[in-house]
Chain A
Amino acid sequence: MDAKLDMFEDVNTSPSLEGDMSIPGRRTTTTTSQNGVPDYNTLDEPIRETVLRDIRAVGIKFYHVLYPKEKSSLLRDWDLWGPLVLCTLMATILQGSSSADSMADNGPEFAQVFVIVWIGAAIVTLNSKLLGGNISFFQSVCVLGYCLTPVALALIICRVILMAKHTRFLFFLRFVTTTLGFTWATYASFIFLGQSQPPHRKPLAVYPIFLFFFIISWLVLSHN
């Protein structure tokens, strides 16, 4: 049988489609270098490269918390380095002295601050999941931890203010700083976590976040 096969040149009248193909069974990325993980073998690179890559990711997240406009990167690539650094910093500054000084601050111990931050974040996340939110556990803990950044900044400023002599005006200044940090933290976490809840339950999910930051801000304010 004699068959004829006509081959036509592809006339490029339509706009070209772009995309990528992901084949399961191999490591895939839906878009290129979104999470910064390269496709090549990272075993041979210098350690500085490896460390800097992670540090860059953490720094980007800090930036997104301080200027909460773009939501997705904090949620997509969660990590817990930032919360750990912030929690350790705050617990170190907040801890009461254990010496027998009569004027020593009877504040929370290092472990108490740690427990409050981590168990508090876990409980708030659990509450959000039980109410039917569709966010994963570690994403939420990551967001809550990173949103401690304004509170930690307020703590550092308060510590600096405390070096001067104690007066009413300075207490008022500390109060204003702490309130500012608290509102900023709640607003930032509301932006990141607010979308994950069904609308008729959103206040129910936001209230524990508010309480969490309120308690930590209280610890910051009452530290002297």
Chain B
Amino acid sequence: METPTADDLLQFRDYSATNNSGAPAQINVNSPTHATSGGNFNAQQQQQQQRQRGDPLADLIYDMSSSTAATAGGGGGAGAQGASLDGAANVGGAGAGGARLSFLTIEYYQQFFNVDTYMVLERIVNSMIPKRAASNYLRMNIGENPDLYGPFWITITLIFSIAISGNIASYLQLADDSYQWHYNFHLVSYAATCIFLYANILPAILWALFKYSLKPVDQADAIETDSATYTPTLLSLMCIYGYSLAIYIPVSILWVINISLLQWLLVITAAMLSGTVLIAVLTPALRNSQYSLFLIVGILSAHVILAAGFLLYFFHSPPDALAAGPKPTLPQVLPPAHMVQQAVSQQPVVGDLPQANQTG
């Protein structure tokens, strides 16, 4: 190439880009106002380069715009999804248009976790004290913003609190200094199965019953039709049931105290309190159903059976086992568990099954 003359230097020319990768080279200067942020990327920022943060106002605008973009995608989806989420997989909502989120993204599920700390605490307290919630709680509060955080973590906490308290209770019942405490890990599995079935299957059954037992509505009575055809969504029911289990967490810790009268008193009180809350919250939907009386009885009895089942299975020692006197083998604390173990020990199975001589 010839040496550029003065004319060349003083004219504007287009030189072809030497960097063919498309993105310009980036120069980072080590000065305090241009410190780069840490290496955190989430899925939304994959396309963007690391942004220089220096100007406070620009950073504020950037943060607010990115957070509203995240919630706008979730909020738009929540409004459409909350009213129409049926039991069957809502595939129609997935990827249908630009505003709907695909159920394969994580943002789709973020709309079910759109709660703050005080909201979760408020919902827990509302589930323990009857009549504390407003009369349209189901439709306006839970129905608009059902969350899965509360039900999920309350059930997990309940499972482990029952398993741990059950083990402590069985230890205290048989404690003397020479007794080696045996930890029965399988209480966790049994507790988990029961609680997950209750918190998931029962709302599904209830949802189906509500939906298909609506009272026929008189079309001439135009004022009542909107609330008369209201049935709660599946997600709202799961949310309600999940939060209603919250009262059993302190109760299960108190069950460690081995006074039978106290245990039964706790069961009855807790079941009555949360049963009343359940009925009170579900009243707008129960009113519209043909089988409202049966449904009320069914809900209450399921609740009581769950609580009593916990107490009997995990905490209660049958009186004849202790009255029979010390046996050479280890005392049988939990007869159902013992029968399960005997049945199981007939067939050696690889895995985490208890031995025949183990008790809880």
Contact = CB atoms under 8 A, between A and B. Distances in A.
Range of interface residues on chain A?
A: 35 or more
A38 interface: no
Contacts of B41: 136
Which of A130, A168, A196, A211 counts the most chain B CB atoms within 10 A?
Answer: A130
B81 interface: no
Interface residues of B, number: 53
Interface string B345-356: 000000110110
B203 to A, nearest CB: 20
B25 A106 contact: no
A191 B157 CA distance: 23
A211 B160 contact: yes
Of the listed residues B157, B351, B352, the one surrounded by the most CB atoms of chain A closer than 10 A to its CB is: B352
A41 interface: no
A23 B20 CA distance: 11
Contact of B39 (A75, A196, A204, A214): A75
Interface stretch (A42-50, A57-65, A216-224): A216-224
B164 interface: yes
Given A23-B25, A112-B352, A130 B40 contact: no
A111 B353 CA distance: 12
Interface stretch (A81-89, A96-104, A150-158, A181-189): A96-104
Interface in A143-199: 166-168, 196
A204 B112 CA distance: 14
Interface string B167-188: 1000000000100111111000
B355 A76 contact: no
B352 A222 contact: no
Interface in B1-30: 6-7, 9-10, 19, 21, 23, 25-30
Contacts of B177: 166-168
A111 B149 contact: no
Contact of B183 (A127, A168, A223): A223
Contacts of A3: 6, 9-10
A215 B31 CA distance: 46
A33 interface: no
A100 B355 contact: yes
B52 to A, nearest CB: 12
A127 B184 contact: no
Given A75-B39, A131-B113, A224-B180, A18 B153 contact: no
Contacts of B47: none
A200 interface: yes
Given A21-B27, A21-B28, A75-B38, A201 B352 contact: no
Given A72-B38, A139-B40, A218-B164, A22 B115 contact: no
A108 interface: yes
A132 interface: yes
Given A105-B182, A106-B358, A24 B27 contact: no
B226 interface: no
A96 B352 CA distance: 10
Given A21-B27, A22-B26, A218-B164, A208 B153 contact: yes
Contacts of A130: 106, 109-110, 112-113, 149
Contact of A204 (B25, B110, B120): B120
Contact of B25 (A18, A21, A136): A21
A17 interface: yes
B117 interface: yes
A9 interface: no
Nearest to A20: B28
B42 A136 contact: yes
B156 interface: yes
Contact of B185 (A102, A108, A196): A108
B43 to A, nearest CB: 9
Given A127-B113, A211-B156, 5 more contacts: A24-B23, A106-B355, A131-B110, A201-B115, A222-B181
9 contacts: A3-B6, A5-B9, A17-B31, A19-B30, A75-B39, A100-B355, A132-B70, A207-B153, A224-B180
Interface of A: 1-3, 5, 17-25, 30, 72, 75-76, 96, 100, 102-109, 111-112, 127, 129-132, 134-136, 139, 166-168, 196, 200-204, 207-208, 211, 214-215, 218, 222-224
The 5 nearest A-B residue pairs measured at CB: A25-B21, A19-B29, A3-B6, A222-B183, A130-B113
